[in-house]
Amino acid sequence: MGARINGTELEWRERGSGDAVLLIHGFPLNSAMWGAQLTALSTDWRVIAPDLRGFGASELGSPDVALGMDLLARDLAGLLDHLGIERAVVCGLSMGGYVAFEFFRQFRDRVRALVLCDTRAGQDPVETQRARGTLAERVTAENTIDPVIEGLLPKLVSSRTTRRNPGVVAMVRAMMQEAAPDSVARALHSMATRADSEPLLRTIDVPTLVLVGSDDVITNRGQAEMMARGIRGARLEIVPGAGHLPPVEQPEEFNQFLNQFLDDLPANALPAPPLLAY
Ligand code: MLT
């Protein structure tokens, strides 16, 4: 499905009906990574998985507009407006988590609950920012995202997935190959310059699930534990055998954790009152 949102043609996958769950993909992937969740959750929920601007079937938009997390969050708000959805459970994986934090920062009244998968709240250290800049320059100069695929793919999935499930590795590689160099270079810059969301954690006042693959080497368990400790009442679940992409590597276990969290949400939860200063 597609529509013009914030002046750009955006596409999304949608399945089911009822209260909304918004699934935000990671870098440099697209909504296809949520295939198993679109099927499993749509018996009870309206599941919406957008292609972020520049990825999947969504246009990148004007080269003059920075592809920042704030714009990606505004795109999602525009999509919810277009779909007539006031509030959604917002679930983001890795870069999708950075967008989810930004969405909460800008549109907290529209967040019914948060699911933070294999992501981190803090900013990049300076060395990582520099490395992202160098990689973005290379992608632009060589006009290919092959250097990103070579560097990132071996870290995205666990060694168990690589050994036992080559089909998943091939599927992730194919998804990465769909990403255009310009989008990838711009996303690298926007990840490197994203806001620090650590101070945001203590202000999160909606039910929150933090999920991480047991073998994730990109955003590790320690970072997930730190987020869960920082968010009042957050639930933490570890997905066994998964690396950075539990929804595709271990979809059954991931869906079980997610379904349990969704089942436990208070019906028609209203925005929580502001936190008291003790
Ligand atoms: C992702 O999976 O979205 C990226 O690995 C995030 C990152 O590079 O920080």
Give the model's pLDDT for residue 64. Answer: 78
For residue 270, the SS3 value is coil
Instruction: Let me know: does 48 contact 14? Beta carbons within 8 Å.
Output: yes
Distance CA 53, CA 95 (A): 13
Which atom of ligand 1 lies at the shortest distance from residue 96's CA? 3
pLDDT digits (tens, 9 = 90+) for 198-243: 999 999 999 999 999 999 999 999 999 999 999 999 999 999 999 9
Alpha helices in 63-207 (DSSP H): 69-83, 95-107, 126-142, 146-156, 159-164, 166-177, 181-192, 198-201
Residue 79: closest CA among 1, 153, 181 = 1
Residue 154: asked if its preceding bond is cis (omega within 30°), the reply is no
In the predicted structure, residue 252 carries a pLDDT above the cut 50? yes
pLDDT at 114: 98
How many Å apart are CA 78 and CA 92, to the nearest integer? Answer: 17
Burial of 191: CB neighbours in 10 Å, binned 0-12, 13-18, 19+: buried
Q: Which atom of ligand 1 approaches the CA of 26 most closely?
A: 3
- Residues 74-78, mean pLDDT to the nearest whole number: 98
Phi and psi at residue 65, in whole multiples of 5°?
Answer: -95, 125
Q: Which two tokens stand for residue 206?
A: 């909606």
Give residue 26 CA to ligand 1 midpoint distance, Å.
6
How many helical (H) and strand (E) elements, i.e. helices and strands, does the chain have?
12, 8
Specify the pTM.
0.95
Ligand 1 atom nearest the C-alpha of 152 is: 5
CA 158 – ligand 1 centroid, Å:
15
Mean pLDDT of the chain: 95
> Six-digit token pair at 16?
């089911």
How many angstroms separate the CA atoms of 87 and 72, rounded?
17
Rounded Cα–Cα distance for residues 100 and 24 (Å): 8
CA 27 to ligand 1: nearest atom? 3
Count CB-CB contacts under 10 A for residue 76.
Answer: 29
CA of 94 to the centre of ligand 1 (A): 5
pLDDT digits (tens, 9 = 90+) for 9-65: 999 999 999 999 999 999 999 999 999 999 999 999 999 999 999 999 999 998 777
Residue 98 DSSP code: H
Please report the atom of ligand 1 found closest to the CA of residue 120: 9
pLDDT of residue 62: 84
Report residue 67's pLDDT band, with 50, 70 and 90 as the boundaries.
confident
* Residue showing tokens 């250097």: 147
Cα distances (angstroms) measured from residue 116 to each of 41, 83, 119, 149, 164 = 17, 23, 6, 24, 26
From 219, 223, 248, mutation site for ligand 1 pocket: most ligand atoms within 8 A of C-beta: 219
pLDDT of 128 higher than 50: yes
Q: Among 153, 155, 135, which residue's Cα sits nearest to residue 217?
A: 155
Write b or e for each residue in 16-35: b if 16 or more Cβ atoms lie within 10 A of its Cβ, otherwise e: beebbbbbbbbbbbbbbbbe
Task: Tell how far the Cα of 67 is from the centroid of ligand 1, in angstroms.
Answer: 15
DSSP 16: -
Tell me which of 34, 94, 249 to substitute to probe ligand 1's pocket, judged by most ligand atoms within 8 Å of the beta carbon: 94
Structure confidence at residue 271 (pLDDT)? 53
Ligand 1, pocket residues at CB < 6 Å: 26-27, 94-95, 191, 218, 244
- In order of their start, the domains of the chain are 2-122+196-263 (3.40.50.1820)
CB 226 within 8 A of CB 236: no
